[in-house]
A and B are shown apart, each in its own frame.
Chain A
Amino acid sequence: MSIDDKTAAHVAKLARIKVEEDALPALAQEFNNILGFIEQLNEVDVEGVEPMVSVTPMRLKRRADEVTDGGMPERILANAPDAREGFFAVPKVVE
């Protein structure tokens, strides 16, 4: 699989990262390098080997169903560029 400029632009758009037109070839090349490395990994035979998700044997940590957090709207909104009447205020988004 090879990434062209158009695909690189699409990926950048999905990630909401602005990439100038003239920076696209370099970005596409970086993607290709990464994918090339992954293709190399694909050559390893992992038939019958369980995927490793953690280097230490650990069970997913659980919490009890208790309300222990919240009740701090002013802190939640503290970094909002715009907040009104307890809400985040954002440029209009309508379907």
Chain B
Amino acid sequence: MLDLTFEPPKPKVIQGAQSDWELVIGLEVHAQVSSKAKLFSGASTAFGAEPNSNVAFVDSAMPGMLPVINEFCVAQAVRTGLGLKAEINLTSAFDRKNYFYPDLPQGYQISQLYHPIVGEGEVLVEMGPGVARLVRIERIHLEQDAGKSIHDMDPAMSFVDLNRTGVALMEIVSRPDIRGPEEAAAYVVKLRQILRYLGTCDGNMQNGNLRADVNVSICQPGAYERYQETQDFSHLGTRCEIKNMNSMRFIQQAIEHEARRQIAIVEGGGKVDQETRLYDPDKGETRSMRSKEEAHDYRYFPCPDLLPLEIEQGWVDDIAADLPELPDAKKARLMELGLTDYDASVLTAEKEDADYFEEVAAGRDAKLSANWVINELFGRLKQDEKSTAESPITAAQLGGIVDLIKAETISGKIAKDLFEIVYTEGGDPAQVVEERGMKQVTDTGAIEAALDEIIAANPAQVEKAKVNPKLAGWFVGQVMKATGGKANPKAVNQLVAQKLNG
């Protein structure tokens, strides 16, 4: 298995007017399960459909309709649990969380309060080479998403679309192990990466398919360590929950603002109220959602429409056997091939990038392949705002270019020209080199002839170079220019050194 040794990152410290303060953060991430149909109905989960067209009578809570669970959604939750090294509960159960809102036609959300399907797990959040936080996962439960209210289409009315009502969500609850805004964002990035590798959530934050509620409290330095020793929450401050954030930047900003608000209250002799707040990115502040407070009395009870969910160990084992290689393992493996921590992180950020790289590097120099994928390909794709999947140059083509460099058929400089040709026009790299005469000149006779000409034409430079060897570079440049960049740089360097010293 993985042997990752790391130091925990330093907690973020905010200087108050009176003392230093540390932050304690826990996240509840809502991840929409990737599935075709909803959790308890056969309606589609497709995004962007005509309003209320992906709705079954179960979703609109017509009297007499009963929920029937989508087994694939259960498998996705189990897969996610296994990916987070969590215990899988072979028996779980559904409860009703009761509240009224126009986008919740049932008047309750079916969720799993008392017996979630997934128990304790962990996520390794890297904050730099050798620095990482192991964030404990408390639980993951399955629940229904709510519909969508649109408030800006009419001055007096809100419009409700139930297409999202009943889509399966996984609520992934962390322990309060996160110690700063950057760590919180990095945790969400890592979780998103794992979910995308697993194929259990597409991680699209813009569409709201991944969103986070952030719990923030402040404490004096040292208090958090006492909490970790005893797991006694009384060592920590009162927390506030900031609801529904769907961008890494907002998560960081909201935490920072919320922490400063709490510090000001406590240092002013006041007390932080435990409450739900909303982040307003325009004003850069969090504000209380007072309306939520009374509704907080959810009167959970076991859902009488659903028997307990019992799954079999064999079924779980089958899912486990089928898990893909996950980011941490993939990264470690790439580093064993000789890649730097940074390169391995870049290449494994997205599974499709890693797959592309591995195809290029198969049977080739890993470091050289990584340079070409990261610096040339990713740089070029970024210019065109294309994803790796849309790359006009295939892994086989890029591999061909790497082969030509490795065999010293072309120079690194010519290789860049070749890359551009293959990228824009296509074609087999070896053939392009042949047809366009891009082969590197390794014939020392031809290089020598060009060099002799340059030496003969520039006697003054020769004298200067004899005194100052650094000027040899000028001759190398001239030879490269004279040969259209095709001269083998190693051969040129050698010859220039010989001639000038001789």
Q: Residues on A close to B: CB < 8 A?
A: 10, 13-14, 16, 53-54, 58-73, 76-77, 82, 84-95
Contact = CB atoms under 8 A, between A and B. Distances in A.
Interface in B32-61: 35-37, 41-44, 50-58, 60
Nearest to B74: A62
Interface in B124-177: 149-151, 153-154, 156-162
Contacts of B73: 65
A70 B50 CA distance: 11
A66 B150 CA distance: 29
B160 A87 contact: yes
Given A54-B307, A92-B151, A86 B158 contact: no
A34 to B, nearest CB: 14
B102 interface: yes
Contacts of A89: 154, 157-160
A63 B70 CA distance: 5
Contact of B72 (A54, A64, A77): A64
Contacts of B289: 95
A69 B98 CA distance: 26
B100 to A, nearest CB: 6
B51 A87 contact: yes
B157 A73 contact: no
Contacts, number: 135
A15 to B, nearest CB: 8
Contacts of B50: 73, 86
Given A91-B158, A92-B158, A63 B42 contact: yes
A72 B41 CA distance: 14
A61 B42 contact: no
B52 A86 contact: yes
A82 B160 CA distance: 11
Contact of B44 (A60, A67, A77): A67
A72 B368 CA distance: 56
Given A67-B37, A69-B42, A90 B156 contact: no
B306 interface: yes
Pairs A-B, 5 closest by C-beta atoms: A68-B42, A65-B72, A87-B159, A69-B42, A69-B56
A4 to B, nearest CB: 16
B308 interface: yes
Contacts of A61: 68-69
Contacts of A76: 52, 55, 57, 60, 162
Nearest to A16: B100
B299 A67 contact: no
Contacts of B307: 53-54, 58-60
Chain A interface secondary structure, helix, strand, loop or mixed?
loop
Nearest to B159: A87
A69 B43 contact: yes
A76 B100 CA distance: 19
Contacts of A87: 51-52, 150, 153, 159-161
A14 B71 contact: no
A16 B294 CA distance: 12
B114 to A, nearest CB: 11
A61 B68 CA distance: 6
B147 to A, nearest CB: 9
Given A85-B159, A95-B291, A65 B297 contact: no
B157 A82 contact: yes
Contact of B68 (A59, A63, A84, A86): A63
B43 A62 contact: no
A91 B102 CA distance: 9
B306 A66 contact: no
B301 interface: no
A65 B35 contact: yes
Given A53-B308, A65-B72, A69-B56, A92 B291 contact: no
B113 to A, nearest CB: 15
A53 to B, nearest CB: 6
A70 B42 contact: yes
Nearest to A82: B157
A84 B53 CA distance: 14
B342 interface: no
B96 to A, nearest CB: 13
Contacts of B455: none
B205 interface: no
Which of B51, B153, B156: most chain A Cβ within 10 A?
Answer: B51
B101 interface: yes
Contacts of A91: 156-158
Nearest to A63: B68
